[in-house]
């Protein structure tokens, strides 16, 4: 290998390693997961991850220096968001690689779901195709601001906190598929339990928007 080729590769991988270093923190990975649901203020993010605003801000600056998130000022607030959909896809890919390669990830996930009575898995790929073909009613049970930031095309925004009031508007003779933030989010688990108790045929799609993007599918923004 010539010296110019070696210099090129050294420089290239040094820059790519900036992203790897930025991701090498449990807190920063969780911050990316939070931001995969939509833009947030540092105060909102800190509250979500149970960290101080100062500590959260420091971690956000590391992610920002690696160019995986961006920020902009809105009045007195600074709003953080993922840099683009490539980063959104990276969040989903990283989790799936962990589930496939690390036994510890599967053990933690199974314990979490078992505790909530949701260990039984559905045929996710078949369910995904039915969602894409519009054969089911898709409910996004996340808060409405997360729905507005990006959702599965055709999904209906029914935040979990509003499910009881809006349940009567759902078609009783059509299968319902509920999703939220991803496999370790309990909102869709709770939504499916409530719907089934009321006689609806409801199923949980365990993935979220980041997984949808990682599969190469487009998302919609706006319109509750």
| Rounded Cα–Cα distance for residues 33 and 220 (Å) | 19
Q: Which residues contact 90 (CB under 8 A, 6 or more apart)?
A: 68, 214
In the set 87, 138, 180, 195, the catalytic residue is 180
Cα 156 vs. chain centroid, distance in angstroms? 17
| DSSP code at position 174 | S
Are the beta carbons of 176 and 139 closer than 8 angstroms? yes
Give residue for tokens 């993010």. Answer: 45
Q: Taking the CB of residue 12, how many other CB atoms lie within 10 A of it?
A: 10
Cα 55 vs. chain centroid, distance in angstroms? 22
180 in catalytic set: yes
Provide the 3-class DSSP secondary structure of residue 157. Answer: strand
Q: Which residues are catalytic?
A: 180
């Amino acid at each position: 290998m010539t010296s110019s080729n070696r210099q090129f590769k050294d420089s290239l991988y040094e820059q790519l390693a900036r992203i790897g270093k930025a991701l090498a923190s449990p807190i920063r990975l969780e911050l990316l997961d939070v931001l995969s649901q939509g833009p947030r203020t540092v105060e909102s993010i800190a509250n979500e991850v149970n960290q101080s605003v100062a500590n959260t801000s420091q971690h956000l600056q590391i992610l920002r220096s690696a160019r995986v998130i961006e920020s902009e000022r809105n009045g007195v607030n600074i709003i953080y968001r993922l840099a683009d959909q490539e980063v959104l896809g990276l969040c989903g890919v990283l989790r799936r690689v962990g589930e496939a390669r690390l036994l510890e990830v599967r053990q933690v996930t199974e314990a979490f779901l078992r505790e909530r009575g949701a260990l039984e898995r559905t045929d996710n790929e078949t369910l995904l195709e039915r969602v894409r073909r519009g054969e089911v009613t898709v409910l996004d049970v996340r808060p409405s601001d997360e729905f507005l930031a990006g959702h599965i095309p055709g999904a209906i925004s029914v935040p979990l906190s509003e499910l009881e009031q809006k349940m009567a508007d759902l078609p009783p003779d059509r299968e319902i598929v509920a999703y939220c933030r991803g496999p370790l989010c309990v909102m869709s688990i709770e939504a499916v339990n409530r719907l089934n108790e009321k006689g609806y045929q409801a199923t949980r799609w365990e993935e979220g928007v980041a997984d949808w993007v990682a599969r190469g599918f487009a998302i919609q923004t706006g319109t509750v």
